[in-house]
Amino acid sequence: MKKTDCTAIVIGVSAGGLAALTAVLPNLSDHLDLPILIVQHLSPGSDDFLATHFNKICSLAVKEAEDKEVIANNTIYFAPANYHLMVEQNKTIALSTAEQVQFSRPAIDILFETAAEAYLEGLVGIILTGANSDGTQGIQRIRQLNGFVIAQSPGTAEVDTMPLSAINQAGVDKILDLQEIAPYINQITVKET
């Protein structure tokens, strides 16, 4: 992938997510100049802890996604609890309370599939630790539309089911240890000034 190709990043994570995201998000450059959208599996009654927590420790702005919001660069968006996070063709956010997918709402597959259709070859999808196969179908869609997919090395995942499913069922472009992910993202996305 060439640096100029990447226009957005999506991340899917489940069990073990707080530790995994803590290894990645605070280490991202504040010069990414693109949006990052994240689905972390949450229980329906969860508050905005993730967005609040990461906004304190990241150099990029971090917030909970809002319905109809225009997606901005240099911003990390978390799906709110009990809502699917989707990307519209016009690069705005849509939130939905449609049926659960893979027993989850928010579901990683829904974010990945809608973002793939909006960003096409400019999308980088990242699948991290987790205990089910959510994200695998979304990764297949990203790859069909010429996006780029990174999986956390199963050996560094707290729960390896999700990255293993993605690697074995969908195929990925790159497998990286958790500590390698942020430096790699910075390397492929940060624009030269």
* Tokens found for residue 107: 């579901």
Assess whether 153 carries a catalytic annotation. no
Range of the domain at 74: 3-189
Which candidate, 58, 57, 29, places its Cα nearest to that of 184? 29
To which residue do tokens 């293993």 refer?
164
What is the pLDDT at residue 79?
98
Q: Which of 14, 104, 133, 165 is catalytic?
A: 14
Residue 72, H or E segment = none
Assess whether 134 carries a catalytic annotation. yes
Q: How many domains does the chain have?
A: 1
Assess whether 53 carries a catalytic annotation. no
- Helix crossing, 178-189 with 17-24: angle to 10°? 40
- The DSSP letter of residue 71 is P
What is the pLDDT at residue 44?
87
Which candidate, 134, 93, 180, places its Cα nearest to that of 11? 134
The number of beta carbons lying within 10 Å of the beta carbon of residue 33 is: 14
Binned average pLDDT, 10 residues per bin, the chain of 193 residues: 77 96 96 95 91 96 97 97 97 96 93 98 97 96 97 97 96 96 91 57
Q: Which of 104, 133, 134, 165 is catalytic?
A: 134
For residue 56, give the CATH number of its domain: 3.40.50.180
Residues 6+ apart with CB under 8 A from 56: none
Sign, CA dihedral 70-103-166-146, equals negative
